[in-house]
Amino acid sequence: MSDKKTAKKQGRGIKEFFRKSMVSLKRSPQNIPLLALVLAFLIYSLNLSSIANTTARINGANMGQCEFVAMLFSILAFVVFLRTFPRRQPVNKIMLGLLFAMLILLGVVDTVYISRIIDATTRSENQIVIDASSAYITTAQTSVTLHVVFIAATAVLLILLPLYSKAIRKIKTSIEVEGNENMEAIDIAGEDQ
């Protein structure tokens, strides 16, 4: 008997967790693109040593600047994102424009960086061969590619935010309390006197 009660409480706890998560998401649907931005930053920053080693090995034009700009603007994008969506206030359109400019810049520097890697590994003379000692080049290329993919996903999610936020708000998250179905509306018309 107690096993059934325990299982029922656990099931209720999981349902309540998802209900609270949906209520939070209904209040702040901008957390979805923020999550994509966080993932982009984590992918880039956790592979920064491979990216730095690749920059040192290839030493292509502007690779160091691209790496620096990508790291700097990945961090600054968080600050701008949080200023774009202030709590319980309308969207700051100037900050939103600045955020999109930063996302575009991040996409450009990542694309330049990837093109330098491709050029160095596919050129006919003095080609850099990727072997066991230079496997970090593949890691860097993959992480920068994933970074630009998540940056693009962040931009798309920001553009589509008005559409899916309406759909999220339609999800029913209220709790049915036993005994409330027979309650009548309370008349408050005479209380102003």
- Going from N- to C-terminal start, the domains of the chain cover 29-171
Q: Is the predicted pLDDT of residue 27 greater than 80, yes or no?
A: no
List own/partner pairs for 56-59 with CB under 8 A and 24 or more apart: 57/128, 57/134, 57/136, 57/137, 58/116, 58/117, 58/120, 58/128, 58/137
Residue given tokens 């999220």 in the structure block:
168
Question: Assign residue 59 a region: left if phi > 0, alpha if psi is -120 to 50, beta otherwise?
Answer: left
Whether the CB-CB separation of 151 and 107 falls below 8 Å is answered with: yes
Whether the CB-CB separation of 55 and 64 falls below 8 Å is answered with: yes
Rounded distance between C-alpha atoms, residue 106 and residue 108, angstroms? 5
Rounded distance between C-alpha atoms, residue 54 and residue 64, angstroms? 10
Q: Which of 69, 59, 57 is nearest to 144 (CA)?
A: 69
Predicted confidence at residue 16, as pLDDT, reads 74
Burial of 11 (0-12, 13-18, 19+ CB in 10 A): exposed
Largest Cα–Cα distance of the chain, in whole Å?
Answer: 92
Q: Which two tokens stand for residue 56?
A: 């040192």
Percent of the chain with pLDDT strictly greater than 70: 78
Residue 28 pLDDT class (50, 70, 90 cuts):
confident
Q: Is the predicted pLDDT of residue 193 greater than 60, yes or no?
A: no
User: Angle 161-169/136-159 helices, nearest 10 degrees?
Assistant: 70
Predicted confidence at residue 176, as pLDDT, reads 62
pLDDT 10s digits, 74-133: 999 989 999 998 887 888 999 999 999 999 999 999 999 999 999 888 888 877 778 888
Predicted confidence at residue 91, as pLDDT, reads 87
